[in-house]
Every structure is written in structure tokens, then in C-alpha cells.
Amino acid sequence: MLQGSLQRSGGLPAIRRLQKMTGSVRGRKSTAGPAERVVVLKGEGDAAQEPDGMKDRVFGGDPFALLRRRWNVLPAGNGRVAAADLMALSDAELLTTWHRLRDDATTGPAFGVRGWYHTLYRDVLAGRTAVDVGAGLGLDGLTFAAHGARMIFVDIVEDNLALLRRLAGLLDVRDASYLYLDDLAALRTLPDRVDVIWCQGSMINVPFGFAAREASALLEHLPVGGRWIELAYPRARWEREGALPFHLWGERTDGPGTPWVEWYDRDRLLRRLEPAAFDVVLDIEFHNCQLVWFDLCRIR
């Protein structure tokens, strides 16, 4: 499906050029080339890093209800902003503010954080159907939609989706739809087949087991040849910042009130996506190894 598109856009050579430009990308060496076949390991995923029962104490009941209380305030470049506050702006003010937030997050020094993958994927996603999981302010999804992607915005906060609808109108984005994720059953309403699942840091803030169930529900809609693209925090960062329990590390990485954040590497992500199997198109740490990027192509 998309593999040829990525190769036409530059693929790994493009990443190498970005490395020279930003000095912030560290690729993983491979003898198998850009689309390395990976043997998926078995296992649930590092539960021993948390005290017994901590996941239940933090997430007992409805995990999405807990997350909604945190993620009604959204990452925006170097700061955070509430969708409700943006909705109070006039149309002109909102559009100006959104463009400024996107530019701050993608240009100049921030090109090495977010701008590089906008450049890499903008043409790749044109004409494709992509599910933006945890769409937030739409800095990614609305940008791709404006360049021809068919975006499905999924979020656990209704105010975020209302903001995205309004911004889409102001940006003249017409081929977009919106899904309120009140529980995992809501994912059944996605189209039978999509081309891309896009998770820009949205799958790392719940325990591994819950993230695996959410991924399983999403994968019902991703056929062989489809792409799973995810941003996460690497294990090296977790170790560098003291190897804190995940219920404490969230406040270190994402600020006060963040109930949980986990690290991922290639093997741990592939375990989470089982029994689906993937070729690895990209696996790179970047932004001074604070972030890790995975681009996977489904093979089973």
C-alpha cells in the first residue's frame, strides 16, 4: 500500500539528510535494509517495573475517565493549551493561533522535533485514509488533511473534537470525520479498512495491557500492507531520568497530573501489537534521544 509512497518520498535517505540538518536523529543499524523482518517476541511487557497492584490503584474503573481529566489540556509546541480556551477565540484569532502553534512546533529549531516527519509523510498520506488516535490540536492530522489525506480524528475528550471540527472548517478541510472514544467499543465504528493508524504519543500513557487491547481494536481495521506509525519515549530516556515507576514518570515527562507514561522499544511495541506482525520501516530515536519513532508495515 504505502511502502512505495514512502520510498518515493525519500525513505531512509531522507532521514539521513534530516540527521545532517538537525544533528538530532539516531537510527538503528540493520543489515536487512529499510524493511527489516523482525521476529516478534512473546510476553506481556515489563509489569515488574511497577509495585504490585499499582496499575489497578491508578487505573481502577474507567481508564478513559482518568485520562480525560488530564488530556483536556493539550501539548502545543513548548507549552500546553486547553481546547475550551481556544474555542472562546474568534475565528480569525483561532486560525492565527493554530498556525502559530503549528509553526512553533515544526519550524526553526522545532523542525528536528516535528517538522521532519511532516515533510516526510505529507505526500505519503495524500489520498490515504488515516486514523489519528488522540488527535489533540490536530497539528499533524489537520496538516495532512489539508494536503489530501482522509483523516479520521479520534479523541477521548469531546471538547478536543469540537475544536477540530471548527478548525477543519476554517482550514477548508472537507474530507475528515470524528470519533469520540468513550470506550474501546467505539472503535468498532471505524471503516472496515484504513491505510494508516497514526499514534503521535497517544498510546504510551496507559499500562501495557490496556494499550494492547486498544491496539487490538484498532488493528481490526488495518489490513496487511497498512501502516502503524507511532511516537513514543525510548527506554534510554526512562533510564536516564532515573528509571522511575511509570505512575511517577508521567509527571516527569508530561507534567503535573499525568497519571502514567511507559517507554517503548521495537520489541516491546511489536509484543503489544501481537498477534499481528509487521516489517519495520523506521525505528529511530531523535530530538537528543528523547523521542523514538516507529513506522511499521503490516505483514500478517
35 falls in which pLDDT band (50, 70, 90)?
A: very low
- Determine contact, residues 62/56, Cβ cutoff 8 Å: no
Average pLDDT value for the chain: 86
Average pLDDT over residues 59-80: 80
In this prediction, residue 241 carries a pLDDT of 96
Quick check: 276 and 297 in contact, CB under 8 A? no
- Per CATH, the architecture of 36-298 is what? 3-Layer(aba) Sandwich (3.40)
- Lowest mean pLDDT of 39-48, 208-217, 243-252, name the range: 39-48
> Which own/partner pairs from 137-140 qualify as long-range (CB within 8 Å, at least 24 positions apart)?
137/74, 137/75, 137/76, 137/81, 137/83, 137/86, 137/98, 137/101, 137/163, 137/164, 138/98, 138/163, 138/164, 138/167, 138/168, 139/76, 139/101, 139/102, 139/105, 139/106, 139/114, 140/114, 140/198, 140/200
The mean-pLDDT minimum among 78-87, 107-116, 224-233 falls in 78-87
CB atoms within 10 A of CB 151: 29
The domain locations on the chain are 36-298
* pLDDT value at 242 more than 60: yes
For 149-165, write each residue's pLDDT tens digit. Answer: 999 999 999 999 999 99
The per-residue DSSP string of 159-188 comes to HHHHHHHHHHHHTT--SEEEEE-SSGGGGG
pLDDT at position 2:
56
Average pLDDT over residues 238-252: 95
Q: Give the model's pLDDT for residue 21.
A: 40
- Res 61: pLDDT: 72
CA end-to-end span of the chain, whole Å? 14
Q: Indicate the pLDDT class of residue 41, thresholds 50, 70 and 90.
A: very low
**What pLDDT digit, counting tens, does each position of 119-129 carry?**
999 999 999 99
pTM, to two decimals:
0.85
pLDDT of res. 51: 64
